[in-house]
Chain A
Amino acid sequence: MQGKGRAVCLPADIDTDIIIAGRYLRTKDRSIWAEHVFEDLDPSLGKNLKGAVIVAGKNFGCGSSREQAAIALKEAGVIAVVAPSFARIFFRNAINIGLPLIEADVTCTNGRQIAFDLSAGWIDTGTGKRKVARLSLHMLAILRAGGLVAYWKVKQ
């Protein structure tokens, strides 16, 4: 599973409240989450996420279990998120909705091209391929299917 995109740098400990605020959760309209993603951090950021690979500091996605946070990123066009560590519920949610995550500590330059291969387990931030921990086969299977919903549809 390969992908590439343009780096958008974010700090450590990005919580799910800041990804999508509680006041926007009461809806099933996914475009609303994409529209208001990161609104309380930087209102202009959301428009900049199409084709982006977010490169963040540790503990990305901490706090609330709201799956809307992962969905908001995906709907806004984020290709993948790279961080040294993720909060565990966010981790599960992202895989379940088909948003690739890469556990890696890389230096980030805004706008620089980032390429990755999840199955092979590497990331390239412009300085050559670098090995990263591979996702479990189960998680790769879910991602490949496009998320847990699609995965179960097939499995049944």
Chain B
Amino acid sequence: MGTLSERILGAPAGAYVDRAVNRAFVHDGTGVLTLESYRQMGAKGLFDPSRIHVIFDHIVPANNSTTATLHHELREFAVGSFLNFSDIGGGICHQCMSEGLVLPGEVVVGADSHSCTLGAFGAFATGVGATDMAAIWLTGETWFRVPETIGIRLSGRLSGAAEAKDIALSVVGRLGMDGATYKALEFIGDGTATLSMDDRLTICNLAVETGAKTGMFYADRITLSYLAGYGLTAEEQTSERPVYEQEIEIELDDIPPVVAIPPRVDSIRAVHDLTGLALDQVFVGTCTNGRYSDLSRFARIVRGKKVAIRTIIVPASRSVLAEAIRTGVLADLVAAGCTIGTPGCGPCLGAHMGVLGEGEVCLSTANRNFRNRMGVGGEIYIGSVATAAASALEGEITEPEAPDAG
């Protein structure tokens, strides 16, 4: 009668276990250090190149020759060692992994804190550091402390203009930035059946902002039909009604569009309360909200209109971009005056392409608004795609309208 984490790791909460991993991935940021540590450990062979992924997403294309040189070294290694390699423009690591590489019940580790995103598939997915990853490259396994689990019971369905991001931010607001440190979140309840895979990925993405090791949904029919789209088969996971360390009830109907106020992702306010706050930039993308459904929702709102301020849109992956081209969403975005970036993290981590200036304010669909993250002296408000679209049109924080009211 265990939680999903206990079942997958095969031990009760609190136990320390060594477990083999099904997939291990790094990006261009953490991969460089991983490779260095791996070489220092003696580089005596990779456990299984077919399970190791190297995905360039953080600074793509390279912003200067230092980055280019680091890219070059890691690229040579990845290709030369027959690892699964995704070069610039392929997309954000979490998104690439979500496109048919993770199955329910698997153990997945990524050298990035938002690896918890993939818990949306009912996998035990979590972030590790670079040196941890080097040891995983070497041995194929790592140690875990089986986490206690907080059950988050979702009931009802979203109403008005609220979307999955508003659920995710509300959960972070409820738990606080360390409310789930060392723990796992399990999303349960009848409300889960109303959420698409994209919604679940968005919600699990923000699990780490509560300190959680991972956020998980049980694999159900929605999961299975998503995976079937990639030619994969899997089995549903049914809850054994575990006892949670703590249970939180969230009524989806009551969630309004919200934003997180800088510099804390857990200071959550209704968009309504901040209406009129002047913005310099809107950024839509990242491993939180850069999927095709996000781009298409944004396009639906701005179609036939013009954005009032600089608006940067970065598809989360090449497949997202391709789909947006195929359906005409991309043309709508460009016609509305948006700037399109290379699939990847874009300006999320403040390294290039959309960095904020001193005193500038950005509304972003990302997951972090720490001080100076997107540029020294810049401020980041975090919100949903619909809030970003409504705000881009006005140049200030604006409440989104419910889609097709009536």
Show the binding face of A for B, using Cβ within 8 Å: 13, 15, 17-18, 21-23, 25-28, 40, 58-59, 62-68, 70, 85-89, 92-93, 96-97, 136, 138, 147-149, 152-153, 156
Contacts and interface: CB of A to CB of B under 8 A. Distances in A.
Given A28-B33, A65-B129, 15 more contacts: A21-B350, A59-B178, A62-B178, A64-B349, A65-B127, A68-B33, A89-B113, A92-B132, A96-B131, A97-B131, A138-B143, A147-B131, A148-B131, A149-B41, A153-B42
Given A40-B371, A65-B111, A88-B182, A148 B349 contact: no
Given A28-B70, A89-B128, A156-B42, A59 B373 contact: no
Contact of A17 (B32, B42, B182, B373): B373
A31 B131 CA distance: 18
A149 B181 contact: no
A96 B129 contact: yes
A104 to B, nearest CB: 15
Interface in B344-399: 349-351, 368, 370-373, 376
A31 B101 CA distance: 38
B20 interface: no
Contact of B370 (A25, A58, A63): A63
Interface of B: 16, 29-30, 32-33, 36-37, 40-42, 44, 59, 63-64, 66-67, 70, 111-113, 127-132, 134-135, 138, 143, 177-178, 181-182, 211, 213, 264, 349-351, 368, 370-373, 376
Given A89-B129, A96-B131, A26 B351 contact: yes
A85 B178 contact: yes
Contacts, number: 122
A54 B29 CA distance: 27
B139 to A, nearest CB: 8
Contacts of B64: 26
Given A26-B59, A87-B178, A156-B44, A59 B370 contact: no
Contacts of B113: 63-65, 89
Which of A21, A136, A156 has the most CB atoms of chain B within a 10 A radius of its CB?
A: A21
A52 B399 CA distance: 48
Nearest to A91: B182
A68 to B, nearest CB: 7
A148 B213 contact: no
A36 B55 CA distance: 27
B128 A65 contact: yes
B371 A66 contact: no
B371 A28 contact: no
A28 B350 CA distance: 19
Contact of B134 (A40, A65, A85, A149): A149
A25 B32 CA distance: 10
Contact of B29 (A13, A25, A70, A88): A25
B42 A152 contact: yes
B371 A18 contact: yes
Given A21-B372, A66-B29, A93-B129, A85 B44 contact: no
Nearest to A21: B372
Contacts of A147: 131
B372 A88 contact: no
A70 B37 CA distance: 14
A22 B373 contact: yes
13 contacts: A17-B373, A21-B350, A28-B33, A58-B178, A62-B177, A65-B112, A66-B29, A67-B30, A87-B178, A138-B16, A152-B42, A152-B135, A156-B42
